[in-house]
Amino acid sequence: MKTSRYAHIFFLAPALITLLVFFFLPVLAALLMSATDFDVYALGNFGRARFLFLENYRRALEDPLFWKALFNTFYFVMVGGPLTILVSLAAAVALNAKILRFRKFFRLAFFLPVVTTLVAVAVVWRYLYHPRYGMINYLLSGFGIEPIDWLGDPTWAMPALILLAVWKNFGYNMLIFLAGLQAIPETLYESARIDGANWWQQQFYITIPQLAPTSIFVTIITIIGYFQLFAEPFVMTQGGPLNATLSIVLYLYQQGFRWWQMGYASSIAFILFFILIVLGLVQELVRRRINRGGAV
Amino acid sequence: MKNKLWSILFHLGMLLVAVITVFPFWWMLCASLMPSGEASDFPPRFFPETFTAEHYINLFSRLNLGRYFLNSLLLALGVTLFSLLVNSMAGFAFAKFRFRGRTPLFAGLISAMIIPGQVTMLPVFLLLNKMGLLNSYFGVILPTMASIFGIFLIRQYLQGVPDSLIEAARIDGAGEWLIYWKIILPLAKPVLVTLALFTFMGSWNDFLWPLIVLTREDLYTLPVALSSLLGEHVQDVELMMAGSVVTVVPVLVVFLALQKYYLQGIMIGGVKE
Amino acid sequence: MKWLLMLVWLAASSCTVQDTGKVKLRFWAMGAEGEKVKPLIEKFQQEYPDIEVAVQAIPWGAAYEKLLTAYAGQALPDVLQLGNTWIPQFASLEAILPLDAYIAGSAVVYPEAYFEGIWNTNIIGEKVYGVPWYVDTRLLFYRSDILADAGYPNPPQTWDEWKDVSRAIVAKTDSKYAAFFSLIFNDWQIPVILILSNGGKILRDNFQYGAFDDPRTLEALSFYIDFFRQGLVPRTMTEFANIYQGFERGDMAMMITGPWNIAEMRLRAPELAGRWTTAPMPVKESRNSVAGGASLVISSGCPNPEQAWKLVEFMARPDIQKTFFELTNDMPSVKAAWEAPQLQEDREARAFFEQLTAVAPTPPIAEWERIAVKIQEHMERVVYGQLSLEEGVKNLNKDVDRILEKRRWLLSKGLL
């Protein structure tokens, strides 16, 4: 190939330089900062910061509020994640059913919440959840259910956020599942039917194994996304009541941009990073194991 | 007969789910058209008794929403434009140039996607402060314009473009920039539209970064303005709903117009195996 | 690249050219004050033709972040408005100038012209850093009709009577609750007011450690918690559509809040006129409430402090204070300005004058906001019965000691 030897540098430079300046170097800077007590005192005078090495991380482990935020985030991820994935899988299977008519309409309706602005829908749901005047309690009262103080009761606040998240996000995974379903060769089902398999057996022995790679992908993006829970509690509960909806990112935001504890906030960010890396490794292991097992 | 019944039940079930997904939008729209106080009636109303546009008028005349709308629009367009240029250039390089370290560099970028943006938030904030870019559109555009996902998307697409096209142009003596501009970009139009759509919607809906970088009220974007409006007007349900409608409608329109490309993007991103 | 050019252009355009002749002052004020102060600035420029003032209005919501980033970027204006709980922070960062020398030579600004408690919030380590611009405190808003129904034609005078009134309201009237105390994030005022009123300690040893186990502090906090335990006060705001509606419908009959709600109540519930009013806080050891409001300060980087002081002094003149009140509805900091008829004849405002003679400052340290939010957080847990008050206070002291660790280190190294 006869071409200028350095042309690629010209094309790569803008992206790589901005990524370097605004992403990779800041990661290093954050790592450094997480080893100091950089804060509002140090903002104008670096002499007022100390190098603490791992002290911030130790402090986080002793900070009950950090554990609370970690617990809440795991709660959100571990309940909200599977719920979202199950709903999206069910929706995808339903959308893929041969008897379904108005397919495009349903697909669009299910997908609408995904594209809308999270802050705006959080505002809307805040009112839908109002214990006295909200639509949700009104509808539930039709089934004889007593009014629930969704956002004001520490027990219900997190389930309320999870419900909103499932509603908002399931459409995205649904489309990915749908693509996966459509990629399954029809002949597999035909031969299964010839062997006398009923609908449930077909789902269990064909659909689920065939969808395994898609499922891993969907699981990992859902979990990564859910770990970064922020706008919902920021808009709807400010982390309350009783810190029941304080998430890691919200805590990080409060420590960093409200109290200017930038060193401490950086260490929280790295703990989040570390958790995501562990999850990434787990997914890689699972993927390899499935690949090794090959198609059943 | 049994099949028919099953089909009706199935469609009714689907309709119910569709009603659930669409209902919050319906209520938002209705409440935004109700006179003050009506949305806090009991039992709640599914439809306005009397229609009024007062909240919309209020938002635009008194509460400066037009300005925030413009900010959101300019910012989203700016981010989209810059990100198209920067990412398509890099995607082109990764797809069509052979150079040392290409594979590890690309793999490195892909694995860096797992680093959550929150890690870099504080240092980038301090950096922008030093550069004097806080409270400016560039403070939002610069850190977000190069996206690894965008580079990936373009690269995947361009790998499907035959090298022979480029070779032919080179033999004709075309420079690399000309090839990029005249051959690659037109060929990549579908994926560029997809990327543009993702970037535009992502930027329009983004909350955390504009919240941090744009602290001056006249620079607020719609989501930031909406959340700060909530602080002062929590009581005014109908007004808040009107604000939500204004925030949501533009993305919905853009999405409905360009649906096809959005779905395509999900497919490319989804089958990244 | 285009964006690089833009960058260069942006950087270049941010440098300003020094004008000749007139001294230029940059002045930042928050929210509505920033908008409404403009006529006064014009008057100032007429009186001092050699000084030019550029006002910028900073929205309240973003003010704290904005000020800190301006400080970090050495871009603070010459004169600025600071909420008086923020003064310690900026003083300890040496971002603002002590004003003692100017005050000593001034016929307008002297301590006796001000409410003592408010003036004291401007003193950090025996130096005065700010001149009060407007004042604010919290006191009792109550439904006089409901209190009368409950058998109390007058507002409660003492803490004991306050609790009796509350019980009577819940027992004898249609009101479900006696009062509303906000428990939402960063609403820390009420427990702090009660501590101040009971003469309790908040911090000890030069504000280096928490002192919430002080007996008087404990007594005040347990008085506070008792309102919730007895069901006199709801735990969540969601009991009402909003506080104005709750007050108007008589879902509750008392609130502890600030002067802006006088105008807000009149606007939102005009039919309620004559059936509600304000009163100073009930007395325990004292009538003390929290000293709020905002002061004017001069930044350390100001090249022309003499002229900046002229502006601060101008704003403190009683006639200017009266006009300022008319423009903004903010309560004047200078006592002489309270002779204005609008204030004299306004019953709800008069109660504030009385209350302002009994206000105490919160601890004058940079960490105060953080500590205050911790108080709220731990009290909320006690209110919900997750912890006993003793445990709550123990945890609170622990958290506060941790927050103050940096301060102790800075003090020990002589860096503060």
- Quote the minimal CA–CA distance from A70 to chain C in Å: 18
Q: What is the mean pLDDT of chain A?
A: 90
Q: How many CB pairs under 8 A join A and B?
A: 247
Residue C139: is its pLDDT beyond 70?
yes
CATH of domain C139-290+364-412: 3.40.190.10
Does any CB of chain C come closer than 8 Å to the CB of residue A113?
Answer: no
- Strand-pair partners of C276: C143
- Residue C331, sorted as left (phi over 0), alpha (psi -120 to 50) or beta, turns out to be beta
**Would you state the pLDDT for residue C213?**
95
* CB of B121 closer than 8 Å to CB of A228: no
User: Domain of A196?
Assistant: 65-293
Q: What is the pLDDT of residue A4?
A: 66
pLDDT at C141 over 80: yes
**How confident is the model at residue C62, as a pLDDT?**
65
Residue from the list A30, A119, A231 with its beta carbon closest to the beta carbon of B122: A30
CATH of the domain at A242: 1.10.3720.10
Contacts of A213 in chain B (CB under 8 A): 273
- Beta-carbon separation of B22 and A21 below 8 A: no
CB < 8 Å & 24+ apart, contacts of B71-75: B71/B214, B71/B219, B71/B220, B71/B221, B71/B222, B72/B204, B72/B221, B72/B222, B72/B223, B72/B250, B73/B250, B74/B137, B75/B137, B75/B140, B75/B141, B75/B203, B75/B210, B75/B221
pLDDT reported for residue C8: 40
pLDDT at A294 over 60: no
Residue A232 lies in a domain: yes
Contacts of C62 in chain B (CB under 8 A): 215-217
Predicted local confidence at residue C6, as pLDDT: 47
DSSP-assigned letters across all residues of A200-256: HHHIIIIIHHHTHHHHHHHHHHHHHHHHT--HHHHHHTTT-STTTT--HHHHHHIII
Encode pLDDT of A99-145 as tens digits.
Answer: 888 999 999 999 999 999 999 999 999 999 988 888 999 999 999 99
Nearest to A120 by CA among B198, B250, B261: B250
Q: Which residues of A touch C92 (CB under 8 A)?
A: 41
pLDDT digits (tens, 9 = 90+) for C168-203: 999 999 999 999 987 765 678 999 999 999 999 999
- Cα dist. C349→C158, C258, C259, C335, C340 in Å? 21, 10, 8, 13, 12
Average pLDDT, chain B: 89
Chain C neighbors (3+ CB pairs < 8 Å) = A, B
Chain centre to alpha carbon of residue C225: 23
State whether residue C386 sits within 8 Å of chain A by CB. Answer: yes
Query: Which two tokens mark A70?
Result: 């970690």
- Determine contact, residues C279/C293, Cβ cutoff 8 Å: no
pLDDT in tens, B211-262: 888 877 788 899 999 988 887 777 788 999 999 999 999 999 999 999 888 8
Task: Choose among A240, C186, C268: nearest CA to B236.
Answer: C268
C14/B132 touch (CB, cutoff 8 Å), yes or no: yes
* Partner-chain contact B120 A27, CB within 8 Å: yes
Higher-confidence residue: C341 or B248? Answer: B248
Mean pLDDT check: name the lowest of B55-69, B139-153, C233-247, C309-323.
C233-247
Assess if residue A115 is contained within a domain. yes
At residue C185, the pLDDT reads 58
Chain A residue at shortest CA distance from B140:
A22
C21-137+291-345 and C139-290+364-412: identical CATH topology: yes
State the burial class of residue A77 (Cβ atoms within 10 Å of its Cβ: 0-12, 13-18, 19+): buried
For the cut 70, the answer to whether the pLDDT of residue C127 exceeds it is: yes
- Is C316:C334 a contact under the CB 8 Å cutoff? yes
Burial of B80 (0-12, 13-18, 19+ CB in 10 A): buried
A34 falls within a domain: no
Chain B residues in contact with C70 by the CB 8 A cut-off are: none
Give the residue on A whose Cα is nearest the Cα of B3: A99
On whether the CB atoms of residues C196 and C284 are closer than 8 A, the answer is no
Task: With beta carbons under 8 A apart, name residues in chain B contacting C12.
Answer: none
Q: ipTM of this predicted complex?
A: 0.88
Give dist(CA C68, CA A256) in Å, integer.
Answer: 13
Distance CA C294, CA C129 (A): 12
The pLDDT assigned to C10 comes to 44
Q: Measured between CB atoms, does C75 come within 8 Å of chain A?
A: no
Percent of chain C with pLDDT over 70: 93
Residue C61: what pLDDT? Answer: 64
Q: Which residues are CB-contacts of A107 (< 8 A; sequence separation ≥ 6)?
A: A95, A175, A178
pLDDT of residue C7: 42
Contact B215 C69 (CB under 8 A): yes
The number of domains in chain A is 1
Give which of C71, C86, C176, C185 to mutate to test A binding, by max A Cβ within 10 Å. Answer: C185
Question: For C91-113, what is each residue's pLDDT tens digit?
Answer: 988 899 999 999 999 999 999 99
Return the HEC string of chain C: CHHHHHHHHHHHHCCCCCCCCCEEEEEEEEHHHHHHCHHHHHHHHHHCCCEEEEEEEECHHHHHHHHHHHHHCCCCCCEEEEECCCHHHHHHCCCECCCHHHHHCCCCCCHHHECHHHHHCCEECCEECCEEEEEECCEEEEEHHHHHHCCCCCCCCEHHHHHHHHHHHHHHCCCCCCEECCCCCCCCHHHHHHHHHCCCCCEECCCCEECCCCHHHHHHHHHHHHHHHCCCCCCCHHHCCCHHHHHHCCCCCEEEECCHHHHHHHHHCHHHCCCEEEECCCECCCCCEECEEEEEEEECCCCCHHHHHHHHHHHHCHHHHHHHHHHHCCEECEHHHHHCHHHHCCHHHHHHHHHHCCEECCCCCCCHHHHHHHHHHHHHHHHCCCCCHHHHHHHHHHHHHHHCHHHHHHHHCCCC
Per-residue confidence (pLDDT) for residue B269, from 0 to 100? 64
- Asked if A46 reaches chain C (Cβ–Cβ under 8 Å), the answer is no
For C66, the closest of B40, B130, B215 (CB atoms) is B215
Closest CA–CA distance from residue B25 to any residue of chain C (Å): 22
- 8 Å CB contact of C10 and B133: yes
Structure tokens at A75: 């709660």
pLDDT of residue C45: 95
> With 80 as the cut, is the pLDDT of residue A95 above it?
yes
Q: A145: exposed, middle or buried (C-beta count within 10 Å: 0-12, 13-18, 19+)? A: exposed
Could you tell me if C186 lies within 8 Å of chain B, comparing CB atoms?
no
Task: Give me the domains of chain B, ranges plus CATH numbers.
Answer: 53-270 (1.10.3720.10)
Q: How far is CA B249 from CA A116, B244, B255, B256, B261, in A?
A: 8, 8, 10, 10, 19
- Classify the C-alpha dihedral A29-A35-A40-A43 as positive or negative: negative
Question: Residue C277: beta bridge partners?
Answer: C142
**A233: in domain:** yes
Query: Which stretch of A191-205, C2-16, C272-286 has the lowest confidence by average pLDDT?
Result: C2-16
Task: State residue C186's pLDDT score.
Answer: 63
Mean pLDDT of B41-65: 88
Q: Does B109 touch chain A (CB under 8 A)?
A: yes
Half-sphere exposure of C270 (CA within 13 A, CB side): 1
How many CB atoms are located within 10 Å of the residue C171 CB?
A: 10
**Residue type at position C167:** R
Q: Put residue A206 in one of left, alpha, beta given phi > 0 → left and psi -120 to 50 → alpha.
A: alpha
Q: Does B159 touch chain C (CB under 8 A)?
A: no
Dist. CA C206–CA A222, nearest whole Å: 50
Closest residue of chain C to B212, computed from CA coordinates:
C65
Distance in angstroms (rounded) separating the CA atoms of residues C313 and A43: 31
The reply to whether residue B205 touches residue A118, judged by beta carbons under 8 angstroms, is yes
- Domain spanning C21-137+291-345 has what CATH number? 3.40.190.10
**C66: pLDDT strictly greater than 90:** no
Segment C76-93 mean pLDDT = 91
